[in-house]
Amino acid sequence: MENKKCPYCGAENKNLNLSESEGLYECCNCGKVVDTKAEKATAECCKKDKK
Ligand SMILES: [Zn+2]
């Protein structure tokens, strides 16, 4: 089990079973689906898009 911080709302999601969901989890706060494997790529993308 892992704890991950949602990149969208910053809420802490605890006890995630990422191995079963292939790195995906649904945020307990905002309900968005977060791909933990794509977190870095998404962050870079956001930087480029920042205006
Ligand atoms: Zn969230």
Both tokens of 28, joined, read 């307990």
The rounded Cα 47 to chain-centroid distance in angstroms is: 16
- Whether 16 and 4 have beta carbons less than 8 Å apart is answered as yes
Tell me how far the alpha carbon of residue 51 lies from the centroid of ligand 1, in angstroms.
Answer: 22
pLDDT at 39: 56
Q: What angle do CA 24, 5, 28 make, to 5 degrees?
A: 65
Mean pLDDT of 38-42: 60
Q: Using a CB cutoff of 8 Å and minimum separation of 24, what contacts does 38-42 make?
A: 39/7, 42/7
Number of domains composing the chain: 1
pTM for the whole thing? 0.68
Q: Which domain holds residue 18?
A: 2-49
Distance from residue 24's CA to the centre of ligand 1 (Å): 13
- Find the 31 Cα to ligand 1 centroid distance in Å: 6
